[in-house]
Each structure stands twice: as C-alpha cells, then as structure tokens.
Structure 1
Amino acid sequence: MSFRVVHPEPSGPHDERSDASREVLVELYAPASAETVRVNMIESINGSAVGDDVTSESLSNRLDRRILGVIRDASDAVVVGASTVRQEGYLAPARSRLAIITRSGDLAGHRLDSAPQPPIVLGPETARERVESELTGIPHEFAALDSPALDATEIVRVLRANGARSIVCEGGPTLAGTFLSAGVVDELCLTTAARLHSPGVPLLGPLGTTIPARLTQLIIDDASTLYARWALGAD
C-alpha cells in the first residue's frame, strides 16, 4: 500500500507516493519528545469507533495496523480500558508494556496468556481481588489508584512512576475521552477510514471542555484513508 504526505507541504523524500515501509513510518510518527502522551484511534467518516464486527478491527487496514505498531514501539506503555480487553480480545503489544485500566477488575475474554511483558493493571483497591482471580497464573502487576473515578492525571503519574515516559492511549472511547478531558494528552493520532458506518459507537466519550488542536501531519493512502497527527492544547 502506498501513500502521500499532503500536510505539511512535501519538500523532502516523501513528496511523491511512498511505500509504507517501517523505516519511513518510524520517521513520520516519531514522538515530539521523549516524554509524551498520545491518543491513537480510528473512526469512520461519520465518527464511529467501530465497524461491521462491532470492533475497530473492521475499520482498520494494513497501513493503519503498521502505523499502530510503529506508535506502540515508540511508547513505553500502551493504555487500554478493560472494556476493550473484554470486547476485542485485546492482544498485548510486542515490545511495549500493556497497561489496563479497570474499575471492577473484570477482564473476562482477555488474551494475555502470551503477553511478551507482564501487563500492569491499574484500578481502585476494590478491583485487586477480581484482577488476581482473572489473571491467575499469568505474570502481571496491579497498581492501586487512589481515585475510583479513574483520574487520567493519576494514571499518567502512576505509569511514569513505573518507568513509562512515552505513553499511548488506545481507548476505548470513554477512556480516551477521560485522557483528553484531563488535559494530559499532547497529541491525537487519528485514522479516518473511507466509509460511513451505522449504527456506530461515538469515537470519544463526553469531553466537558473545548480542546484546541493544530494539524501537524496528514497522510492519504491509495484507499482514501486519512491519517492525521493533531497537536493538542495550543491555539
């Protein structure tokens, strides 16, 4: 699959159609700094976070999955909500540590048996017992959060205390909205699949605030899928 960088105006080696090699994507998706928080998600044109199979997988394509891998590899921790683990049978990233956020400790349907690194599960102390039951025999770590409301600022603080400088949140919609509302996100990486989908699931939960954004990069592939990088928090 090939693509073009359409913003900023090309002036270097990517001014023509480029093959989606890992080397090129690593350059294009390098984090702005060593200590950063990104949200990476995919949507349909009308803003649905899921496709025909009621997961994000049916919206994705080969280039999106390759970009996903590049962003994960540039991150110390990949953050997902427990509902994503349950609904999508979430596979742990190959090189980064998986961080699962849960209120209840319910991780039914997980596929963490072969995780390359022991995942870290963050939730209130009341979730510990169920997490331990769900992950019996699977190496993992539980980090108790002070706030049962799953405060994104605290989540980032705890992850940083556990060595995660670069963090990417992959959702679902509620968790991504929580991160964005808290003002802890530096960049939104958003893929827009070239399709309309209904009924759908909104890309984000309620934000409760307006967040300024600035487009720093836009790619289009030969299937008309758009790949955007948005810097957040600056007018």
Structure 2
Amino acid sequence: MARAVELAARGHGTTSPNPVVGCVVLDGSGEVVGEGFHAYAGGPHAEVVALAQAEERARGGTAYVTLEPCDHTGRTGPCSRALLAAGVVRVVVAVADPSPKAAGGAARLRAHGVAVTSGVLADAAERVNEEWLTYARLGRSHVTWKFAATLDGRSAAEDGTSQWITSPEARADVHRLRAGADAIVAGIGTILADDPRLTARPTTRAAHSDAARPTAPAARPEVAGAKEGPRVRTPLRVVIDSEGRTPPDARVLDGAAPTLIAVADDVDTDLKADLLRLPRHQDGLDPHALLRELAAREVVSVFLEGGPTLAGSFMRRGLVDRVVAYLAPALLGSGRAALGAAGVRTIGEIHRLTFDDFSQIGPDLRLIARPHHTTREK
C-alpha cells in the first residue's frame, strides 16, 4: 500500500476533477506483477493500468488500491468489474470513496466473493489525495494559501512595495505549485497594487505537482501508464472584487488564461468579463459561497494568493487547508504583515498548525504546514 500511495502522487495536478489513485497488483504467490496510477482525467484508472500490466498473472492475486474502486460508468468503466473480470480474489483498500456516484465498489466485490480489507495506511492515502477528498466530502474546493515574507513576517515594506522579497528560485517554485492547482485566487487589492498576471509559468512541467510533496518519487518508465500524456490544463484565474473595480486593462483580463471575477450580487458593473455574483458578507464576499461555486465548476484545488486581508478572511473561517510559506533571509522591521485579522482575540484562539516539510529553495526557506482541522470536519 505504501507503494500504491507513492504511485498515486504522480497524478497530482493532472487528474482533476478526478482523484489521484495508485494501485499495486500481486499474483497468487505475492509477487508484484502490475503497478499503475491515474495519470489524467479521462484516462484509464489506476486499477485498469495495473491489471493491464499484470495480464493473466492477476488471476488469484491481490490488488492494493489507495481509494475504493469505483462502481460506476463515466468516461471509463467501473474498476470493481475490471477487478472481478481479472480474477482478483482479494482487494486491499486504504480509503472509502465518499462520492455517492462512484462508491459501492467494495460492496460489489464482496458480493462476488472477493475478500476486501479496508483502512490500510488510510492516513497516508488521505494525505496524498487531500485536495479531492476535501472537494468530495465538503462540497468545496481545497485551499492552499501561499505567502512570501521576511523573517520578521513582513510581506511588504511601509510604502507597499513587495517585489521582490524572495528569490527567483522561490518564485519559480511558486509557478510549479500554481501549475498544479485548478484555480489561482487573489483579491482586488492585489490586482490594483501589483497588476499580476496570476498565470502558471513553470520553467518545466516535470514534477511540478510534487513540489509541495518532496517525498513523491520521480516517474519510473517501467510503471504501466507512466508514459501516458496528461492533457495540459491552465488554472482558472479568480479575482475577488465585490464592487467590480478590476481595471479593464488589468493583466488578469489579458486572455492568457480563463478569468472569473467574483462580484457582489447587487453590484452594477459594466466590466467585460466572466462574472460570478456572490452574496455580500459582513467584510466582503462570502468565501464559503465562493468555494462552493468553484466546486460546482469542478475546481478541486485553489491556490490562494494576495494580501493579508483576504488570507485572514479565509483563515478565520477555517477555509485554509494547507499553508506554503516562503521566508527570505531578510528583515524589514515595519510594513505589512503577511496575515491580517484571522479571528484571534486571545492566545487561546491561536491557529495551530502542523509542519509537513522544510526545504531550502535558493537562499529562501519554504515551510509547508496545515491547520489542525481535517477533511472529516463539517
């Protein structure tokens, strides 16, 4: 199962709106005869790839799968029936499929006499598939908040300038992370101050989706399906702009990538853009409503950028699932903090996080952490 989790990681950034899944097939004697992962939406599922490699050696064997085999016909057939047709006699599953449309594979396998074991390495399988599990369980997009700051936590100087706090190497790493997301989100303050393009421009697409997962393996050509070419996806650009103030010549409207402007449902604007009208909230637009609407558009993962006000709004509502911080070996002493009001009035309300990774990117330090809430909440 640990190997299946490693395989699943290879699908990061190319499977949306599908989950990442890995599969390992053993023959009756316990020898590995097939490996596979879901490489891209619309392509063969992990079980199908592994079974194709195993061929007749799968009969009487065991399949290890990170997510319960699907039991429905979509762009591909149900994996539960593929396993039955291959003659597998045992299936080991890490995580049950929470999607009502696809769930039921384990029950079908058991009904046909296949032994099914569930919950093996569930935590590792949950972590590798956390974006999709958030999307499937909570009905909203998974959110990664990224920020860059000095060692004293400043994201901009007193005069508002912020380019560039971190190094070219760190900025290249950000582009790799952006390229693995379905949408890049920023607030109108960032648009007016910096006029960013909010596009993903990685120097290489190889392993970009593993940038925040340093333990993910490099692609191995002997794994069936690894040579399949994922379709190149362009992240959606989303601007949170309650009053419709985005300038018509802003670079986010340059046509380089699709752009969605989220405005208040009562605002009168002649902005020539794809508008998403959302209800007003006490301090702007409702971020819950935004993430639900994006999920309805099959946006599984959001890369949140922008200023401290927007970040604070998401953080205090428990809508940040992962934090990626780039710390530069520099000090400002004053200026804008990286995080604004996050709903903390006393130390007992502090947002506690758990570190996942520490990496040096050029001269900077990249920290990856996550708040203590999980995809099982709500």
TM-score > 0.5 by shorter chain: yes
Alpha-carbon distance, 1:179 to partner: 0.7
Describe the superposition over 1:30-61 as per-residue Cα deviations: whole angstroms up to 9, x where unpaired.
87433421101111111111258734321021
What is the one-letter code of the residue matched to 1:141? D
Q: Does 1:169 align with 2:304?
A: yes
State the alpha-carbon separation in 2 of the partners of residues 196 and 230 from structure 1: 22
Q: Which residue pairs with 2:154 in the alignment?
A: 48
What is the one-letter code of the residue matched to 2:153? G
Could you say if the C-alpha distance between residues 125 and 169 of structure 1 is closer, same or farther in structure 2, counting changes exceeding 3 Å? same
Q: Does 1:119 align with 2:259?
A: yes
Alpha-carbon distance, 1:222 to partner: 4.8
State the alpha-carbon separation in 2 of the partners of residues 53 and 64 from structure 1: 23
Q: Does 1:182 align with 2:326?
A: no
Q: What percentage of residue pairs aligned between the two structures are identical?
A: 22
Q: Which has the larger radius of gyration?
A: 2
Q: TM-score, normalised by structure 1?
A: 0.77
CA contact (8 A) 1:215 1:230 kept: yes
Describe the superposition over 1:111-165 as per-residue Cα deviations: whole angstroms up to 9, x where unpaired.
1342322310112123351xx33xx4xxx31011112432221111111112211
Alpha-carbon distance, 1:212 to partner: 1.8
Q: Which residue pairs with 1:194 in the alignment?
A: 329
Could you say if the C-alpha distance between residues 113 and 119 of structure 1 is closer, same or farther in structure 2, counting changes exceeding 3 Å? closer
State the alpha-carbon separation in 1 of the partners of residues 287 and 163 from structure 2: 25
RMSD: 2.4
Q: Does 1:33 align with 2:137?
A: no
Q: Does 1:216 align with 2:351?
A: no
| Unpaired runs of at least 5, structure 2 | 1-9, 14-127, 136-141, 201-233, 345-349
Could you say if the C-alpha distance between residues 55 and 72 of structure 1 is closer, same or farther in structure 2, counting changes exceeding 3 Å? farther
State the alpha-carbon separation in 1 of the partners of residues 298 and 268 from structure 2: 21
Q: Does 1:97 align with 2:236?
A: yes
Q: Which residue pairs with 1:145 in the alignment?
A: 278
State the alpha-carbon separation in 2 of the partners of residues 128 and 165 from structure 1: 30
Could you say if the C-alpha distance between residues 232 and 128 of structure 1 is closer, same or farther in structure 2, counting changes exceeding 3 Å? farther
Equivalent runs, 1:53-72 vs 2, <5 Å: 54-72=160-178
RCO higher in 1 or 2 (8 Å CA, sep ≥ 6)?
1
State the alpha-carbon separation in 1 of the partners of residues 161 and 372 from structure 2: 29
Q: Which residue pairs with 1:232 in the alignment?
A: 371
Q: How many residues align?
A: 200
Q: TM-score, normalised by structure 2?
A: 0.49
What is the one-letter code of the residue matched to 1:226? L
Could you say if the C-alpha distance between residues 197 and 76 of structure 1 is closer, same or farther in structure 2, counting changes exceeding 3 Å? same
Alpha-carbon distance, 1:75 to partner: 0.8
The secondary structure found in structure 1 opposite 2:266 is helix
State the alpha-carbon separation in 1 of the partners of residues 165 and 171 from structure 2: 10
CA contact (8 A) 1:91 1:115 kept: no
Q: Which residue pairs with 1:19 in the alignment?
A: none
Describe the superposition over 1:51-78 as per-residue Cα deviations: whole angstroms up to 9, x where unpaired.
5873432102112111211111111111
State the alpha-carbon separation in 2 of the partners of residues 221 and 162 from structure 1: 34
State the alpha-carbon separation in 1 of the partners of residues 181 and 335 from structure 2: 29
